Structure 1
Amino acid sequence: MRPALPLLLLAAAAAPLAAQRRPAPLPAITPGEIDAHLRFLSSDLLEGRAPATRGGELAAAYIAAQLAQYGYEPGADGSYFQRVPIDVVAANRATIRVEARGKANATLRDKEDVVVWAGSAVERSAAQADLVFVGYGIAAPEYGWDDYKGRDVRGKIVLVLVNDPPAPPGEPGLFGGKAMTYYGRWTYKFEEAERRGAAGALLVHTTLSAGYGWPTVVGSWAKEQRMLPRDPKLPPPLAFRGWITSQAAARLLGEAGLDLAGLAKAAQARSFDPVPAGITLDVAFANAVQHLESANVIGVLPGADPARRREHVVFTAHWDHLGIGPAVDGDSIYNGAQDNASGVADLLAVARAAAAAPRPARSLLFNFVTAEESGLLGSEYFAANPTVPLAQLVGGFNIDGGNLRGETRDLILLGEQKSSLGAFVGARAKARGLRLSPEEFPERGSFYRSDHFSLAKAGVPAVSVGAGTDFVGRPEGWGREQIDEYTTRHYHQPSDEYRADLDLRGAAQLAGVVLDAGLALANSREWPRWSPDAEFRRSAPVP
């Protein structure tokens, strides 16, 4: 029996070593801490957090104070604030003129037939040019598709269909099949027209192709527009951008002896060629221009490995909302509790827990961006003016709309199939007893409508993590009903506000998955890679 003592001593010595090898549990994220952030960020005191307003500045200052408290270093040249210049351009609707002559003679009515706005921050927008129908306005070499066919449209006004061409039965994966690709987004149509040197661009609207009705077009674009100052390295801007109803476009082309329905049908084939309409459009209007400034709030937790701390894992959430607007039931403050005070609250909890965990090998960069509601302007500015070289950004996690309704059995990941980051997050969700559910309406192009997209467009694999619809303790279909009710009644309305009865257990659950995935990526040597059929590529090869 005498050998038992040495064995006991060996076991006792080995126990601390085994404990050292086991990773320590990550700090817990609680509903209470998320509630505290959410309660303040969505309060009336912040007046809806519009960029370049007192309420917006208070929100940014609050976020910076939290990051400082957690031990994050300033991430923008010694400051927590990356200043973002924003131009505000409002067309004077009384001055708008859109007239056609040539094979068709007509005056197109503002907000009834067309909605037009400035392509850049100038006091007068004007273009007088020939109209050319360019189908879907897509140039996608990976699909063997070019709607322009080398035709010179410099100085012309292009008429463009929205969405992707439909996938034929013999090629079901064309342009993502049912899912929208970036080529289908209205933003791409304008960008491609600009690259081609067009003077202006009109998108043909139908509710089916756009995914929303004409009143949404009027409400979104017949008002002041916010944009970043023009990068001089970019092609000259379009003189104007705009939408035209399909009825007005059909009448106009019909006068010129052309059939819009027939042209749209022809545009569904690779063999389509642009069609000059024989119509000259004269578009002109005056603008009021303001130059404002807001800020992205950036904090960095340096990595523990000196050889790898230059590599950064990025986390994003937009802090802005719509500010003060038209009163609804006597309330004019658009608090944006779900959109996106909830995402900021979640991400602040992630930042606190990450700082309290063992320091990862790679650095963590938390970027709370401004002006998402104005067209992803803050994240676009960061991607164009990164505080860390793009080649050193490993991958990104975004939260846009946290879960305010309770625990779920699933998450939805925008961009799940676009890069290896989808499976990486899926493994961490599974470890917490969650599954990834497919995006319910991929044809709506949600991947391209939040701040992770600015990173993706710059070549950095990124995903947006959101709640699923399978809620614990709720009947089947309840989650979808709640989301539809929010979208119909509360989205971008003053009623999107804090309530004391919100169930934030699901918010803590979602934030926990983001924490797990972010720290796992920061401790790995993996560089997420784009899927072969994704529209994006890194600007530089990964190590």
Structure 2
Amino acid sequence: MLSRSSLLTAGAVILVGTPAVAQRERLTLSEVPLAVLGTLRPESFDAHWRFLADDLMEGRAPGTRGGDLAAHYIAAQFEALGLRPAWPSGYLQWVPLVASRSETSLVIGAGRRTIVFDEDTDFVAWPLRQEEAIVFDADLVFGGYGIDADEWGWDDFQGRSVAGKILLVRSGEPPRASRSALQGGATRYGRWSYKVEQAQRAGAVGILLIHSAEAGVGPWSAVQATWGREVPQPERAGSHGMRFAAWITADVARRIVEATGMDYDLLMRRADVPGFRAIEQGARAAVDIRSRFRSFRTPNVVGVLPGSEDTGAASSVYLVAHYDHFGIGPSHEGDSIYNGAVDNASGVAALLTLARGLAAAPNSATHTLVFAATTAGEYDMAGAAALAAMPPTPLDHVACVIALHEMNAWGMTRDIIGVGADLSTIGPVAREAARLEELALADPATAHGDLYDSDQFVFARLGVPVVVLRRGQRAFDDGRLASADPVALFRAVHRHRPTDEIAESMSPDGVLQQVRVLARVAWHFANAPTLPNWLPTSEFGGLRRGAPAR
């Protein structure tokens, strides 16, 4: 009897009852050479995945032995596959970062009350300037969600000056019913980094982000693992307009608000309603941050399959996955290595599997294929930002970016989610590529927030259409909706923890479904005469490729 892996490799038919898909006008894709599809094998993915997720890699943190080892392993694989180095100097693009390790004191004064909070237990903070000592005090302002979105008719500030003050801000976004114009799912306004950027634009000197596990950053332990240790940032962060940022627990936020005599629950409800305006908190925060800094370089790894029309004006397709994770950190149940098996050894293993398959084509594609394993993806996508700033091919000729992030390690499904595809003309191509693999392209609304979750967002903000695949929800055996979502369980329990390891229940079969679909998408755009574009109705529709991010 053939295994599921064998069925995938052979391209056997998996029947899916999807009348809606059949009714759509079908698009003819560029035919993928059989040599490409035949080379996409589960054992190839599995070998890379197990190596990159092994304890030997020590969690692949940027600027560490394990991170450098992973980078050189990827470069060696690119060379073995015959990929050309992206630059005359080789496969490595060095990204300068500055890492800070801090000890912080946070004291709040409200009326006659003084509250001293415990670092790590109550809050984690990091400097936004390269200053060994940041000592100051400032008034607190509750800024709701810290959002200014014209398309929603939403402005949490409404002229309230926060210059020279510290913002207290909710994580995530207001309820959908409160917004005047929302197409569904989470948006960029829920990202913590947007709130930091917005606070800086408003002139604040610091920001306290109220933690919520539902806002995409995971449980408090994940926040501690990310920011409660050495925090790498781009070198330019030394000139940041704000002085610091911090996560605080919801309990700390409640204690601060109630110390001023306000009703915490009522204040949070007010922030959910249109027309909210930032409120002076009647409290003052004293901040003392003592930091040690180290500068280091960490590489992106980039290889190229030149197209047959490899000229300066030719287009290119980028396939991107970040290879870093959190290294060695706080122990959890006796394990201190943050292996990052799903996030994102799975994405890099899929990238290498695709590189092997596409390199096996007997003839070159018309346009260039660029394979990029980026660094510092866990640190606000700093490696992807460096790649976009100095790309190996002109950014205004990049057809699309195919991101590989947190691949489906939980088995085969009958459908697949193409996050971002519905917002651009990639959509029909992704739908047809999925159909050719006997998969339905599911409604992406439930996973829309993932568009802003990794490297693809860097390129989307620069006007380049992107797509990242997510696991579908229909079981392989009977096509019904699965009773449990393994992706949700992973993010709630294992993401950014030492337990993100390869489990016995995992398999490469679901990843191979994704890889085969993406091979078809990549090959099509690598041979297409025109570039895909964002739809005018999408939030990126008004952007020109390569224009500065807004």
TM bracket (short chain)? 0.7 to 0.9
1:314 aligned residue: 318
Q: Structure 1 CA distance, aligned partners of 2:215 and 2:490?
A: 23
Q: Structure 1 CA distance, aligned partners of 2:67 and 2:213?
A: 34
Q: Does 2:103 match 1:92?
A: yes
In the TM superposition, residue 320 of structure 1 has moved relative to its aligned partner by 1.8
Q: Structure 2 CA distance, aligned partners of 1:459 and 1:53?
A: 33
Alignment of 1:115-514 (within 5 A): 115-168=124-177, 174-177=181-184, 179-207=185-213, 212-230=218-236, 236-306=240-310, 310-326=314-330, 331-357=335-361, 358-439=363-444, 441-442=446-447, 445-473=449-477, 480=484, 482-483=486-487, 486-487=490-491, 490-498=494-502, 503-514=507-518
Structure 1 portions without partners, runs of 5+: 1-20
In the TM superposition, residue 369 of structure 1 has moved relative to its aligned partner by 0.8
CA root-mean-square deviation: 3.2
Structure 2 portions without partners, runs of 5+: 1-29
- TM-score between both structures, scaled by the size of structure 1: 0.84
2:534 aligned residue: 530
Tell which deviates more after alignment, 292-301 or 278-287: 278-287
Deviation per residue, 1:104-155 (Å, 9 max, x gap): 6443443454432212332122342222222221111222322222333221
2:522 aligned residue: 518
Q: Which among 24, 30, 36 is matched to residue 47 of structure 2?
A: 36
Secondary structure of 2:524's aligned partner = helix
Secondary structure of 2:345's aligned partner = helix
Question: Relative to 1, partners in 2 of residues 1:102 and 1:424: Cα closer, same or farther, differing over 3 Å?
Answer: farther
Higher CA-based Rg: 1
Letter in 2 for 1:196: A
Query: Is 2:346–2:407's contact at 8 Å kept on the other side of the alignment?
Result: yes
Q: Structure 2 CA distance, aligned partners of 1:329 and 1:246?
A: 25
Aligned identity (percent) is: 36
Q: Structure 1 CA distance, aligned partners of 2:52 and 2:251?
A: 44
Letter in 2 for 1:163: G
Secondary structure of 2:369's aligned partner = strand
In the TM superposition, residue 294 of structure 1 has moved relative to its aligned partner by 1.0
Q: Structure 2 CA distance, aligned partners of 1:132 and 1:364?
A: 49
Letter in 2 for 1:426: R
Question: Relative to 1, partners in 2 of residues 1:252 and 1:42: Cα closer, same or farther, differing over 3 Å?
Answer: closer
Q: Structure 1 CA distance, aligned partners of 2:281 and 2:110?
A: 11
Q: Structure 1 CA distance, aligned partners of 2:492 and 2:210?
A: 25
Letter in 2 for 1:351: A
Q: Structure 2 CA distance, aligned partners of 1:432 and 1:251?
A: 54
Question: Relative to 1, partners in 2 of residues 1:254 and 1:23: Cα closer, same or farther, differing over 3 Å?
Answer: closer
Secondary structure of 1:84's aligned partner = strand
Query: Is 2:381–2:454's contact at 8 Å kept on the other side of the alignment?
Result: yes
Query: Is 2:142–2:169's contact at 8 Å kept on the other side of the alignment?
Result: yes
Query: Is 1:309–1:363's contact at 8 Å kept on the other side of the alignment?
Result: no
State how many pairs are aligned. 515
Deviation per residue, 1:3-55 (Å, 9 max, x gap): xxxxxxxxxxxxxxxxxx98743522111222232233233433332222222
Query: Is 1:458–1:538's contact at 8 Å kept on the other side of the alignment?
Result: no
Q: Structure 2 CA distance, aligned partners of 1:328 and 1:464?
A: 30
Query: Is 2:318–2:400's contact at 8 Å kept on the other side of the alignment?
Result: yes
Q: Structure 2 CA distance, aligned partners of 1:39 and 1:195?
A: 44
Q: Structure 2 CA distance, aligned partners of 1:347 and 1:190?
A: 32
Question: Relative to 1, partners in 2 of residues 1:92 and 1:248: Cα closer, same or farther, differing over 3 Å?
Answer: closer
Q: Structure 2 CA distance, aligned partners of 1:262 and 1:488?
A: 28
